[in-house]
């Protein structure tokens, strides 16, 4: 076990921060929800699985384990976990502390806000307790995917008011702040995929940003091509004003490249001009990096191991390039995203350590024998680089 950062992280600034997306969306019948969520469509079976990677559950205590019916590993029962279990969320944040990670952007989905609140916001309260216990920072990141154009903005305003006034979230000692204001992120505005990411109207987007900026340091999860208004970005010239109004620009790069050559080209073609444009606008710039990508269980027509991890080389080069291009902060996607194969938390090293039933992607997919915590260690090294504790190097710091 690595003990890298037992002291509390400074929640007062984003400078030098490496934040990690935290989904926290997994449930199982044993947690009181009486359902399987995000692991599968219903009870997990080879045909219903929606996750790609099998988490390392070896450290879980008996009360944290959710048995998978009809699935076995070496003839013994196989287990998953629930994000509703406070012990498990505490364990995740303890890993963050042990490996020297700063904290998380907690994903809050506009389509499930009502259910989260009706259920007592158990997962968010688990995160709040774990962040305080571990000395890690956290901030809310709204995901507006699937939001209704005529209601999503008011939903966000109402929910933020609820979080501040009733849950007292911004009064939490480890809530991430910058320039004296709590950080709040909205992911998805500006993406050019029809009505899945509203609004289509730039003025409506600008009005929402203005409302939040009076209260928060506003972070925008934007299209990767926000700077040129092309490809995944809405192309109306007015959207340039929308992006320029954001305090922090966080472009979504996942899946935009898939090879080492693509990573290097992305630096020259996108990140370098992005850094310059953000500086010109007086903005902070937080590029997104990811370890690899695979979602053949979630999207059955997709190729398994679509973007190979290359033993960590892929993730490290992205982070190194972002640093060398002038980025002063970073987001890693994601901590616990086993659905799309971007998780950096502990997952099994070998296919033989996952259930015999169904398809599972393990860390040996690229022919390497890696420990289950390999990507937590690598994320810790990335964090050190952005903190200025180590000198940037193109060479992967881990064997």
Mean pLDDT score across all residues of the chain:
97
Q: Is the pLDDT of residue 361 over 80?
A: yes
**pLDDT of 1:** 40
Over residues 4-14, mean pLDDT: 85
**pLDDT of 2:** 44
Q: What is the pLDDT of residues 106-128, one digit of tens each?
A: 999 999 999 999 999 999 999 99
pLDDT over 90, % of the chain: 97
Q: What is the pLDDT of residues 31-69, one digit of tens each?
A: 999 999 999 999 999 999 999 999 999 999 999 999 999
Residue 117 CA to residue 308 CA, distance in Å, equals 38
Neighbours of 73 (CB within 10 A): 18
pTM of the model: 0.97
Residue 233 CA to residue 253 CA, distance in Å, equals 12
Q: What is the pLDDT of residues 262-316, one digit of tens each?
A: 999 999 999 999 999 999 999 999 999 999 999 999 999 999 999 999 999 999 9
Q: What is the pLDDT of residues 135-146, one digit of tens each?
A: 999 999 999 999
Residue 91 CA to residue 86 CA, distance in Å, equals 8
Q: Is the pLDDT of residue 153 over 70?
A: yes
Q: Work out the angle at residue 291's Cα, subtended by the Cα atoms of residues 286 and 296, and round it to the nearest 5 degrees.
A: 120
CATH numbers and ranges of domains, the chain:
18-387 (3.20.20.80)
């Amino acid at each position: 076990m690595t003990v890298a950062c037992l002291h509390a992280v400074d929640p007062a600034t984003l400078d030098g921060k490496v934040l990690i997306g935290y989904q926290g969306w997994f449930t199982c019948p044993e947690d009181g929800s009486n359902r399987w969520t995000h692991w599968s469509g219903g009870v997990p079976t080879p045909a219903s699985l929606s996750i790609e990677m099998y988490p390392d559950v070896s450290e879980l205590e008996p009360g944290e384990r959710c048995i998978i019916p009809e699935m076995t590993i070496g003839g013994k029962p196989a287990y998953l976990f629930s994000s509703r279990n406070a012990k498990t969320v505490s364990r995740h944040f303890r890993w963050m502390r042990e490996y020297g990670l700063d904290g998380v952007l907690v994903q809050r989905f506009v389509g499930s806000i009502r259910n989260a609140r009706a259920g007592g916001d158990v997962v968010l309260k688990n995160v709040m307790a774990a962040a305080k216990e571990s000395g890690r920072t956290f901030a809310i990141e709204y995901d507006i995917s699937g939001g209704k154009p005529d209601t999503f903005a008011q939903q966000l305003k109402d929910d933020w008011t609820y979080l501040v006034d009733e849950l007292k979230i911004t009064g939490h000692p480890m809530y991430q702040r910058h320039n004296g204001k709590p950080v709040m992120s909205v992911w998805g505005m500006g993406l050019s995929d029809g009505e899945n990411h509203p609004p289509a109207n730039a003025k409506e987007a600008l009005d929402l940003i203005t409302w939040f900026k009076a209260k928060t340091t506003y972070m925008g999860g934007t299209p990767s091509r926000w700077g040129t208004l092309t490809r995944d970005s809405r192309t109306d010239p007015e959207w340039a004003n929308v992006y320029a109004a954001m305090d922090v620009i966080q472009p979504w790069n996942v899946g935009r490249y898939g090879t080492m050559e693509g990573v290097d080209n992305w630096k020259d073609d996108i990140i370098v001009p992005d850094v310059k444009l953000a500086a010109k606008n007086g903005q902070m710039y937080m590029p997104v990096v990811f370890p690899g990508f695979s979602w053949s269980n979630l999207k059955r027509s997709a190729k398994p191991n679509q973007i190979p991890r290359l033993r960590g080389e892929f993730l490290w080069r992205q982070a190194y390039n972002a640093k060398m291009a002038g980025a002063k902060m970073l987001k890693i996607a994601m901590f616990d995203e086993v659905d799309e194969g971007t998780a950096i938390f502990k997952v099994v090293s070998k296919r033989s350590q996952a259930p015999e039933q169904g398809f599972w992607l393990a860390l040996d997919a690229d022919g390497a024998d890696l420990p289950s915590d390999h990507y937590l260690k690598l994320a810790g090294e990335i964090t050190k680089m952005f903190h200025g504790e180590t000198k940037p190097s193109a060479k992967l710091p881990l064997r």
